């Protein structure tokens, strides 16, 4: 049953969106192209940050600095059952979207996308957004300087979702 949801999700979403579009007389192909072009611009825009951050993460890993950081933070990770390869992800995810994108790609290249860690960082990447960036843009736009409990509450929510990601991945895919 659970496997069926992930398996049929894509075809069902295609069928649903296309039939509703046709029913509402949407020029589906023209609109598709318009949206795809927007996606194209988005991807082109993230290539420079990806280059910068992949280089930084690459150097950090190749030099052995990553091993030192992971060694220091290992006890914290063990507390919530987080494998050591995924620890840097828990730190970077709230700070930068493109940095965590680069990190997920790096982790999947080293461990394989279908390994436990590969799946886990995929879920971590998909289930929360970049807290710091969102706060900067939205609060900055209206000139709010006292953000009260926003950051701590968002970080705690992220922690909950990491714990749930570890748990769900173990349950669905095994360790």
Instruction: Identify residues 114-173 at the interface with another protein (CB under 8 A).
Output: 114, 118-119, 122-132, 134-135, 137-139, 141-150, 152-154, 156-158, 160-161, 164-165, 168-169, 172-173
**Does 72 interact with another protein (rule: CB under 8 A)?**
no
Answer whether 46's CB lies under 8 Å from 98's CB. yes
Report in angstroms how near the CB of residue 48 gets to another protein at its nearest: 8
How many residues belong to the site for another protein (CB under 8 A)?
104
Q: Which of 15, 47, 72, 76 binds another protein (CB under 8 A)?
A: 47
Q: Which of 13, 15, 72, 76 binds another protein (CB under 8 A)?
A: 13
**Does 10 interact with another protein (rule: CB under 8 A)?**
yes
Closest by Cα among 161, 95, 163 to 130: 95
Closest by Cα among 62, 53, 123, 66 to 95: 53
Distance CA 94, CA 132 (A): 6
**Does 24 interact with another protein (rule: CB under 8 A)?**
yes
Instruction: Identify residues 74-113 at the interface with another protein (CB under 8 A).
Output: 94-96, 99, 101-102, 104-105, 108-109, 112-113
- Cα torsion 157, 119, 78, 95: sign: negative
Q: Assign residue 64 a region (left: φ > 0; alpha: ψ between -120 and 50; beta: otherwise).
A: left
């Amino acid at each position: 049953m659970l496997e069926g949801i992930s398996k049929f999700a894509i075809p069902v979403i295609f069928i649903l969106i296309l039939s509703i579009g046709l029913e509402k007389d949407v020029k589906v192909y023209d609109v598709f192209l318009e949206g795809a072009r927007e996606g194209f611009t988005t991807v082109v825009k993230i290539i420079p940050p990806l280059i910068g951050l992949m280089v930084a993460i690459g150097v950090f890993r190749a030099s052995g600095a990553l091993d030192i950081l992971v060694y220091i933070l290992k006890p914290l990770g063990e507390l919530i059952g987080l494998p050591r390869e995924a620890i840097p992800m828990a730190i970077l995810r709230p700070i930068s979207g493109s940095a965590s994108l680069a990190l997920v790609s790096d982790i999947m290249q080293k461990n394989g996308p279908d390994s436990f860690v590969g799946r886990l960082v995929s879920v971590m990447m998909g289930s929360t957004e970049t807290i710091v960036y969102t706060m900067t843009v939205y609060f900055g736009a209206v000139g709010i300087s006292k953000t009260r409990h926003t950051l701590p509450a968002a970080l705690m929510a992220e922690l909950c979702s990491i714990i749930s990601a570890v748990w769900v991945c173990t349950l669905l895919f095994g360790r």
